[in-house]
């Protein structure tokens, strides 16, 4: 599904990713953990094509297609989805209109017909229910005036609507209380399937109690310094990052 090899990327003159490797097979959920400033969010942004990052070496392929050759919208149409750590407020842009434009752009690129209004509404209502979101959300501007929890749930709602191949959840747990976290995690778990892979980027082990990963990676100083099963997350919770990061440095 996703194959990242020797990825190096800069922000300005500063090298943030320093030779990062990652292989994600179809249906797998990988957690990327690491201390602040380790490059977790940079990795998520570089994959999705955000401006302001310069890839200096390495490759990232989604089902064999080089992501770095594509515009952000082309990556999305290929099946890549980024759930933002800080979802952007779009005053004046209606949520439903936005979702319809996104879904139809993706369907069109796959050679599918645009959804008619009735099927679109039905699909939306079905997905809203899973995320415990109210219908009224559809009439509001995208993320505008949403609470922190609503914003995060709206991200997962979009993911449910767009049905990506590979979803990257960038610190989706940050700022959520335990109830909201459970709802978000339930939404994510409902989307797990043998065809869909996920990368869960998080600082804390907490989210992984609800979204159980197949693999856990520790990212520090721009590289994956340790990979293991889900028990690695528990170990990190217990001992902190210090023992791994310092061990690596030594």
Partner 1 sequence: MSAATNSSRQPAEAAEAFAGWLHHLGETVAPASIGADADSASGWIAAERQQAAERVRAQRVPTGKSEGWRYTGLRSLIDQGFVQIDEPLTALTPDDLEEVLVPGLDAHRAVLVNGRYSASLSDLGALPSGVRVGSLSGMLESDPDALRGLLTRLADEASHLFATLNTAAMQDGLVLLLERGALLERPIEIIHLSVGMEEPRVAQPRHLISLGDGARAQVIERYVSLGDALYCTNSVLEIALGRDALLKHARVQQESANAFHITSLYLSQDANSRYAGVNIGLGGIWARTDLVTRFSGEHADCDLRGLYLAGDKQLIDYHMDVRHGLPNCSSRERFKGILYGKGRAVFDGLVHVARDAQKTDAAMSNRNLILSANAEVDTKPQLEIYADDVKCSHGTTVGQIEPEALFYLRSRGISASLARRMLCLGFAGEIIDALDSEALRDYVTEQVGERLERAPLD
Report the interface residues with partner 1, using CB under 8 A: 48-51, 71-73, 75-77, 81-82, 84, 87-88, 90-93, 97-98, 101-103, 105-106, 109, 141, 158, 162
Q: Which is nearer to partner 1, 87 or 213 (CB)?
A: 87
- Residue 109: CB minimum distance to partner 1, A: 7
* Closer residue to partner 1 in complex, CB, 30/77: 77
Q: Answer for the pair 225, 219: CB distance below 8 angstroms, yes or no.
A: yes
SS3 content of the chain, % helix, strand, coil (to 5): 40, 25, 30
Closest approach of partner 1 to the CB of residue 103, in Å: 8
H, E, C per residue of 113-129: CCCCHHHHHHHHHHHHH
**Smaller CB separation from partner 1, 89 or 248:** 89
Query: CA 244 to CA 222: how far, in whole Å?
Result: 14
Which CB, 3 or 48, lies closer to partner 1?
A: 48
CA distance readout (Å), 63 to 26, 164, 189, 195 = 10, 13, 23, 12
Provide the minimum distance between the beta carbon of 125 and partner 1 in the complex, in angstroms, as a whole number: 20
173: helix, strand or coil: coil
Q: Cβ 159 to partner 1, closest distance in Å? A: 10
Q: Select 156 or 232, whichever has its Cβ closest to partner 1.
A: 156
CB of 144 vs partner 1, minimal distance in Å: 9
CB of 35 to partner 1, least distance (A): 25
Residue 7 C-beta: closest distance to partner 1, Å: 19
* CB nearer to partner 1: pick between 18 and 50: 50
Stretch (H or E) spanning 101: helix 95-109
Contacts for 124 with CB less than 8 Å, ≥ 6 apart: 96, 99, 138, 161
Q: Which residue(s) pair with 29 in the sheet?
A: 198
Rounded Cα gap, residues 211 and 26, in angstroms: 17
- Residue 103 or 184 having the CB closest to partner 1: 103
String of DSSP letters for 187-235: HHHHT-BTTBEEEEEESSSHHHHHS--SEEEEEETTEEEEEE-THHHHH
**Non-local CB neighbours of 28 within 8 Å, separated by 6+ positions:** 1, 197, 198, 214, 215
């Amino acid at each position: 599904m996703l194959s990242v090899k020797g990825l190096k990327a800069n922000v300005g003159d500063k090298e943030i990713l320093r030779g990062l490797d990652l292989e994600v097979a179809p249906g797998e959920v990988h957690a990327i953990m690491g201390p602040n400033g380790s490059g977790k969010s940079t990795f998520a942004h570089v994959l999705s094509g955000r401006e302001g990052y310069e890839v200096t070496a390495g490759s990232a392929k989604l089902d064999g297609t080089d992501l770095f050759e594509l515009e952000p919208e082309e990556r999305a149409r290929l099946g890549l989805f980024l759930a933002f750590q800080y979802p952007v407020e779009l005053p004046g842009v209606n949520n439903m209109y936005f979702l319809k434009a996104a879904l139809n752009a993706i369907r069109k690129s796959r050679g599918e017909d645009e959804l008619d209004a009735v099927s679109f509404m039905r699909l939306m209502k079905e997905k809203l229910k899973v995320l415990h979101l109210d219908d009224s959300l559809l009439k509001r501007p995208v993320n505008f005036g949403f609470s922190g929890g609503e914003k995060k749930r709206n991200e997962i709602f979009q993911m449910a609507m767009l049905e990506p191949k590979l979803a990257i959840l960038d610190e989706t747990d940050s700022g959520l209380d335990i109830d909201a976290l459970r709802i978000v995690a339930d939404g994510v778990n409902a989307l797990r399937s043998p065809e869909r892979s996920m990368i869960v980027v998080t600082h804390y082990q907490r989210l992984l109690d609800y979204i159980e990963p197949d693999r856990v990676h520790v990212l520090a100083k721009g590289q994956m310094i340790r990979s293991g099963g889900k028990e690695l997350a528990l170990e990190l919770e217990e001992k902190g990052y210090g023992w791994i990061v310092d061990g690596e440095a030594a």
